[in-house]
Amino acid sequence: MYFGLSEEQSFFKDNIKKYLDDNATLDSIRHITNGDEKNLSREIHNGLLNLGINSLLIPEKYGGLGLDLLFAAVVSESLGGGIGPVPFIAPYVIAPKAILEAGSSEQKEKYLSKIAVNEALFGVGFSEFIGKRNDAGVSFSNGALNGRSMFVLDAQTATHILLADKKGRIFIVEINSNNIEIVNLTTVDKTRQYAEVICKDLEAEILIGSENSQEPIIKAIDAGRIMLAADTLGAAQTMINKAVDYAKERKQFGRVIGSFQAVKHMCAEMAADLEPCYALVWHAAHCHDHSPSEARLMACHAKSHTSEMGKGIAKKATEVHGGMGFTDLLGLHYWFKRIGVNRQILGSPELVREEAIQSQLK
C-alpha cells in the first residue's frame, strides 16, 4: 500500500515548478497581465510544452504519454503555485478527457493526435451545463449552434472550442469561422483567459458518445474540477509560504511579528486547513481513474472543500502581510485572485456540493 506521489510524479511536479520559478518570475507575470508582453506568455507556454504538459492524458496510440489524472493534478498544483500564465486545464485536461470519453474512433484519432503534437489547442465552455446564468446557453439544431456560452476557458488562443448544451451534449467548433464571436472577459485573474463565445448558425460537430449520455461530460467536468482544486492547492501553499517568511522577518514592537500568537496562530490555521487538501486532491485524482464508485463524490468534494480552504487562506495570508499584502507592490494579489476565480469556475462550492449530495441520494 502506498498513498502519495510516485517518484515520476514528484519529478514532474518539481520540473514544472522549477521551470516556472526560472521563467515565470513575478516581473514577467506583471508584463503579461499588463498586456505589454504577448510573446512572453507564448514562450512560457512553449517551454512547458517541451516538458510534455499537452500530452499527459492522451493514450500512447494517439502519440501521448497515457498517464493517470494524478500526473495532471501535480502539474496543475505546480502551475497554481507559480501562477503559471498559460492554458492548461481546458486544452490539456478537459478537452482530451471529453474526446476520450465521448469521441468516435475517428474523432479520437483526428483530435487527440493533434493535441499531442500541439496542432490543436482547445478552449472549453461547459458553464451552462453546470449552471446557466440568465439568458446564456447554446442550442443545437441542423448541425449548427446558436446562442452564447460564458466563461469559456482559453478561447482566445484556441484553434477549436468544446461547447456544451444544457443536456450535456458536447460540440466541437472551429475558431476559423465568421459565425463565431469571441468577446474577452476581464476577470480579476489576469494570469489566465476567459471569454464569452457567441455562435450564430455556427457549424458544430457533436461528440458521438455525448448524444444520449451525460456520463462523458460529467467525467470531463470531474477531471477539470480536480485540476482547479490542485491549482488552488498550489496557489494557497505559496501564499502560506510567503506569509510565514514575511512573519519571520517583519519586526514591530521590537520583535518579529511571527513571535506573536495572534500571527502564528493564523499561520498554523492555514497549514492545518491546507494539509489535508493534498491527500483529498490526490485521492480524488486516483479514484477518477481507479475507483469509479467513489470518483464523483471525491471530485466534487475536492473542488468545493479546497475552494473553501483556499478562500480562507487567501484572506489570512494577505492579512499576515499587513498593509503590504494589500499593495500591488508585493504581487500577493495574483495568487489571491487566482484562488478566487478557481472557486467559481466549473461550479461554485454550493453548486458542486448540491451535485455531491445528489450523487449519493440516487
Question: What residues pair up with 145 in beta bridges, in sequence order?
Answer: 140, 202
Give 149 or 304: the residue with its C-beta nearer to other proteins.
304
CA distances to 89, 112, 132, 216, 306 from 301, rounded to whole Å, are: 18, 29, 21, 19, 8
The secondary structure of residue 68, as a DSSP letter, is -
Residues comprising the chain, all counted:
362
CA quadruple 283, 226, 172, 142: dihedral positive or negative? positive
Bridge-based pairing state of the strands 122-125 and 160-164: parallel
Nearest by Cα to 151 from 179, 120, 187: 187
The secondary structure of residue 141, as a DSSP letter, is E
Instruction: By CB under 8 A, name the one of 14, 119, 269, 319 that touches other proteins.
Output: 269
Catalogue the E-assigned strands of 205-356: 205-206, 251-252, 255-256
Query: Which amino acid is residue 10, in one-letter code?
Result: S
The reply on whether position 130 binds other proteins by CB under 8 A is no
The reply on whether position 320 binds other proteins by CB under 8 A is no
Closest separation in Å from C-beta 350 to other proteins = 6
The reply on whether position 319 binds other proteins by CB under 8 A is no
Instruction: By CB under 8 A, name the one of 255, 293, 328, 362 that touches other proteins.
Output: 255
CA distance 220 to 223: 5
Query: Which amino acid is residue 58, in one-letter code?
Result: I
Instruction: By CB under 8 A, name the one of 180, 221, 280, 313 that touches other proteins.
Output: 280
* Sole window of 29-37, 145-153, 276-284, 311-319 interacting with other proteins (rule: CB under 8 A): 276-284
The reply on whether position 217 binds other proteins by CB under 8 A is no
The reply on whether position 105 binds other proteins by CB under 8 A is no
* Sole window of 190-198, 200-208, 262-270, 310-318 interacting with other proteins (rule: CB under 8 A): 262-270
The reply on whether position 126 binds other proteins by CB under 8 A is no
CA distance 81 to 245: 16
Closest separation in Å from C-beta 190 to other proteins = 29
Give 193 or 306: the residue with its C-beta nearer to other proteins.
306
Give 19 or 282: the residue with its C-beta nearer to other proteins.
282
Quick one: which H or E segment has residue 26?
Answer: helix 26-34
* Sole window of 125-133, 157-165, 265-273, 328-336 interacting with other proteins (rule: CB under 8 A): 265-273
Q: Segment 42-81, which members bind other proteins (CB under 8 A)? A: 68, 70
Closest separation in Å from C-beta 210 to other proteins = 27
The reply on whether position 110 binds other proteins by CB under 8 A is no
* Sole window of 20-28, 120-128, 186-194, 263-271 interacting with other proteins (rule: CB under 8 A): 263-271
Environment class of 131 (CB within 10 Å of its CB; exposed 0-12, middle 13-18, buried 19+): middle
Pseudo-torsion of CA 345, 346, 347, 348, nearest 10°? Answer: -20
Instruction: By CB under 8 A, name the one of 169, 219, 286, 321 that touches other proteins.
Output: 286
Instruction: By CB under 8 A, name the one of 203, 278, 312, 326 that touches other proteins.
Output: 278
Helix (H, G, I), strand (E, B) or coil at 133: coil
Q: What is the per-residue DSSP string for 44-59?
A: HHHHHHHTTTTSSSS-
The reply on whether position 239 binds other proteins by CB under 8 A is no
The reply on whether position 106 binds other proteins by CB under 8 A is no
Residues that contact other proteins, how many (by CB under 8 A): 48
Closest separation in Å from C-beta 305 to other proteins = 4
Pseudo-torsion of CA 42, 46, 47, 48, nearest 10°? Answer: 100
Look at the block and give the residue holding cell 510565514.
Answer: 244
Binding site for other proteins (CB under 8 A): 1-6, 68, 70, 244, 247-248, 255-256, 258-261, 264-265, 267-269, 271-272, 275-280, 282-283, 286, 290-291, 297-298, 301, 304-305, 308, 350, 353-354, 356-357, 360-361
